[in-house]
Structure 1
Amino acid sequence: MKPDTEFLILGGGIAGLATAIALQKIGKDFLVAEASEAFRPVGAGIALAANAMKALSKIGAADAVIPKGSRLADFSIYDDKGKLISKTHAHNPDYGNFTIHRADLHAALLSFLEEKKLLTGKRSKRFVKGPKRYTVFFEDGSEISASHLIVAEGIHSPIRKQLLPDTNPRFAGYTCWRGIADNGQLHIDETFETWGRKGRIGIVPLRNKQIYWFACVNAPHADSDKKNFKKEDILEIFGDFHSSISEVLKATYAPIIWNDILDLPPLSRFAFEDILLIGDAAHATTPNMGQGACMALEDAAVLMACLKKNPSTSTAFLDFEKRRLTRTRQIVIQSWTLGKVAQLENPIGIWLRNFAFRVTPASVNQKQLEKLYNVDLD
């Protein structure tokens, strides 16, 4: 029996949609199976660093995304009194760094794909391997067969759990709220974070007079009280931070999103014959370096290159694994470490951290950024 599709992409988030665009670009047959009843982005604002923009360019989607984003030139870190801790010039002359609302990025990616290629309400349960195809069984009772599976269904992927039963997300030790505020009266044009003993908060200007913000505090895992926090509760925590913080929180108008911060301890493999893990299903990272979506977009571009180079798909998947394991592992570890440093509560530790950041030469920060942005997608 002929498979329903050549490639079945499980998950319709950034990784899944970008990969679908990449497969389409090189003439591959595919279907995207999304767990939700509709293609709805989860989250508020995200950063697309120069490496992500390079990946979008490779798959042919950059021109659709750039008009929806705002260019990011610099990134600053302040203490809770508003004193500068660190400033990094993030300008990249070749591809640029952008901030964008996740919904706008999602819409831009969806615009490249035909509706008949996109299935919703397909939450995977398990797969079975046959002689020449895989069959995926879904919670709605349906099944789809494919020659190759690309697993892009996120950190809680049941298919990854079937392949690697001992892999579990880990809690970073802090929880996070995200929101959108009105920038019409505030006119904030700087992207920055503020670090204090009570937690940290980040401010990211977007297009259309919007601000994306996030606030993180150390907390127990799955603290149900935090889930129901409103902006007044968050103001109570951060109200004595410098004035820009309270102004942004007061201007918040969209529903606040809450979640604990999790990542996936680095895996030893992504490829399993004709099954490939990508995106958060493979290398979910904490958001401290703003690289989660960037890594997902890189995955799509690298996979496209591997499939073009290798006539065998299973060989292409192994090639992808070889090219991606070290880079994604490094970013997961670095982001985890940075989060621990940013969430310090001890006054002496905070003073030492801030002093170290202030005396670090700008050239050091610049070299670290260049290393991050310099990714081989060919």
Structure 2
Amino acid sequence: MGTRTAVIAGGGIGGLAAAIGLRRAGWTVTVLERSAEPGEVGAGWSFAPNAVRAADALGVGEQFRAVSVPTEAGATLRTPDGRYLMRFRPGRDTPLLANHRADLHRVLAAQLPDGVVQPAAEVAVVEQSGHGVTVGYRTPGGPATAQADLLVGADGIRSAVRRAVWPDAPAPVFQRILCWRGVTEPGAGWPADGFTGFQTWGRGARFGAHPLTRQRVFWFLTVRQGEPGLRYADDLAEVRARVGGWHDPIPDLLAGTPAASVLRHDIFDLDPLPSYVDGRVALLGDAAHAMTPFLAQGACQALEDATVLAAGLADATDVPAALARYDHIRRPRGRMVARMARQDPKISLSTSPVTYGLMTRLTHLAGGGVAARKAARLWDWTAPTIGEPTIGEPAGKS
């Protein structure tokens, strides 16, 4: 088998994971990253066991764990006055792993040789033939082209690859949700007895906090928002106005967060695509199935995508056929998780006092069992072994 080449559009977590996986599978890879200074900006996130299994399959599990901290926020739910709706219970509940986006990006980028990631390179044109794909892209020095056997679109919810190859694909959909994210300074707001994370459900508002390395805390606040594009002069002050009176340690966490570091995003997702694949072009991560953050599965699914893609292409002599198999495996799961992530805030972020009252009572009565069943649908996934013919499927399936 001769040299096989891939171009990956997007140097975020999904794109780097795909590059690592494809190189592990014997491919030569170039990553085109539109930012002039590659790196992951943002705050933090949490990863479920399915993502950790994907990291292990990619050969970066040890590095992944080194920048992560266990968090119990997924099964620790409270009301704004501090009452517990559900407490994390060892043996019943599984901790997630939380890390800072920049830390994870750094350890993934370190797995790739210098020159693999090309900064300030944005895809503009994609042309396919029977034997390969030509990618035209813009650089500061002018237009350039790359020839490859495969193009992977890992360039986010507003993917240039998706626009070029699927021009009739639906545009991102605003889900009437606004999200603020922040990270405290090291040690600031850190409780004396340590910190294990929590989520707090208010009516039409949801606050969550996860521990990070170096005694930092990543927090988020999601609220209902009628239209996109609304802006606030001081985002941290706006967050304080909404939840500054909620239970401890929320006020201390906000006090320990630099105002200039607070991020604000309107939440969009994607309607289901008819396919993640066209010939020698494949989409993964947000480019394929951008979803709301309510299940903490967006980056997890990108890691799954990258693992399955690399495993399916390890020994493939027919790239389009291998990509068709990738689409057959990944699209049903991506659709399911995205659908669940879209449905969740219809209840958990409802502004209705009746819905909020029912949600909190039912969660208090049966939250542990409900959470376990919901987690099983998301987390029961077996990672493929890259370089062998097995392909990742939900656990229990061949």
**One-letter amino acid of the counterpart of residue 46, structure 1:** W
Question: Following TM superposition, by how much is the alpha carbon of 1:368 offset from its aligned partner in structure 2, in angstroms?
Answer: 2.5
Alignment of 1:157-196 (within 5 A): 157-164=159-166, 165-182=168-185, 183-187=187-191, 188-196=194-202
Distance 1:90 1:287 in 2: 25
Find 2:283's aligned residue among 277, 287, 305.
Answer: 277
Work out the CA distance in 2 between the residues paired with 1:348 and 1:303. 45
Letter in 1 for 2:76: S
Cα pair 1:10 1:34 within 8 Å, conserved: yes
Distance 1:243 1:72 in 2: 17
Q: Select between 130-139 and 10-19 the one with higher mean Cα deviation.
A: 130-139
Q: Which runs of 5+ in 1 are unaligned?
A: none
State the distance in 1 between where 2:375 and 2:32 align: 35
Contact 2:169 2:273 in 1 (8 A): no
**What residue identity is the alignment partner of 1:200?**
R
Quote how far apart the aligned CAs of 1:185 are.
Answer: 4.6
Alignment of 1:11 with 2:10, yes or no, is: yes
Q: Are the structure 2 counterparts of residues 312 and 89 from structure 1 closer, same or farther at C-alpha, using a change threshold of 3 Å?
A: farther
Q: Provide the C-alpha distance between the structure 1 equivalents of 2:318 and 2:344, rounded to a whole number of angstroms.
A: 39
Comparing 155-164 with 73-82, greater Cα deviation is found at: 73-82
Using structure 1 for the length normalisation, give the TM-score. 0.93
2:356 is aligned to 350
Counterparts of 1:216-227 in structure 2, within 5 Å, are: 216-226=222-232
Number of the residue aligned with 1:77? 77
Q: Secondary structure at the match of 2:376?
A: helix
1:138-157 paired onto structure 2 within 5 Å? 138-140=137-139, 141-157=143-159
Q: Counterpart in 1 of 2:245?
A: 240
Q: Against the structure 1 CA distance between its residues 189 and 248, is the aligned structure 2 distance closer, same or farther, given a 3 Å change threshold?
A: same
* Cα deviations by residue, 1:249-301 (Å, 9 ceiling, x for unpaired): 11112611111011111222111111101111001111101011100111111
Match of 1:318? 324
1:307 and 2:313 correspond: yes
Q: Match of 2:321, as an amino acid? A: T
Gaps of 5+ in 2: 385-398
Matched AA of 1:308 = A
- The answer to whether the 8 Å contact 1:43/1:257 transfers is yes
Deviations, residues 98-150 of structure 1 (Å, cap 9, x unaligned): 10001110011011001121101011122122453222222332222222111
Distance 1:87 1:318 in 2: 43
Structure 1 residues 19-34: aligned runs within 5 Å: 19-34=18-33
Deviation at 1:240, TM superposition (A): 2.3
* Equivalent residues, number: 373
Q: Which residue in the other structure is 1:120 paired with? A: 119
Change (3 A) 1:111 1:92: farther
1:86 paired residue number: 86
Deviation at 1:365, TM superposition (A): 2.1
Distance 1:202 1:96, change over 3 A: closer
Q: Go from structure 1 to structure 2 and tell me whether the alpha carbon gap of 1:215 and 1:295 turns closer, same or farther (over 3 Å shift).
A: same
Task: Look up the SS of the partner of 1:144 in the other structure.
Answer: strand
Using a 3 Å threshold, how does the CA distance of structure 1 residues 192 and 9 change in structure 2: closer, same or farther? same
Amino acid across the alignment from 1:113: L
1:198–1:237 CA contact under 8 A, matched in 2: no
* Structure 1 residues 210-234: Cα deviation after superposition (integer angstroms, max 9, x where no partner): 00011112113333324x4331221
Write the distance in 2 (CA, Å) between the matches of 1:280 and 1:92: 31
What is the CA–CA distance in structure 1 between the aligned matches of 2:41 and 2:89, rounded to whole Å?
29
Q: SS state of the match for residue 12, structure 1?
A: coil
Tell me the amino acid that sits aligned with residue 292 of structure 2. Answer: T
Partner of 1:211: 217
Task: Please identify, of 245-254 and 58-67, the stretch whose mean Cα deviation from structure 2 is larger.
Answer: 245-254
For the 8 Å contact 2:85–2:360, the answer to whether it is kept is yes
Deviations 1:310-364 (A, max 9, x none): 4311111111111111111111011111122121112111101111212225234
Please say if residues 129 and 135 of structure 1, whose CA atoms lie closer than 8 Å, have aligned partners that are also in contact: yes
- Counterpart Cα distance in 2 of 1:309 and 1:354: 51
* Alpha-carbon distance, 1:53 to partner: 0.5
| CA distance 1:274–1:90, change in 2 (3 Å) | farther
1:247, CA displacement in angstroms? 1.6
- Structure 2 vs 1, CA of residues 73 and 250 (structure 1 numbering), >3 Å: closer, same or farther? closer
Q: For residue 55 of structure 2, what is the aligned residue in structure 1? A: 56
Q: In 2, distance between residues paired with 1:360 and 1:23?
A: 43
* TM-score, normalization by structure 2: 0.88
The question of 1:229 aligning with 2:231 is answered no
Q: CA deviation at 1:204?
A: 0.9
Runs of 4+ in 1 over 3 A off after TM superposition: 87-93, 182-185
Query: 1:33–1:118: 8 Å Cα contact kept in structure 2?
Result: yes
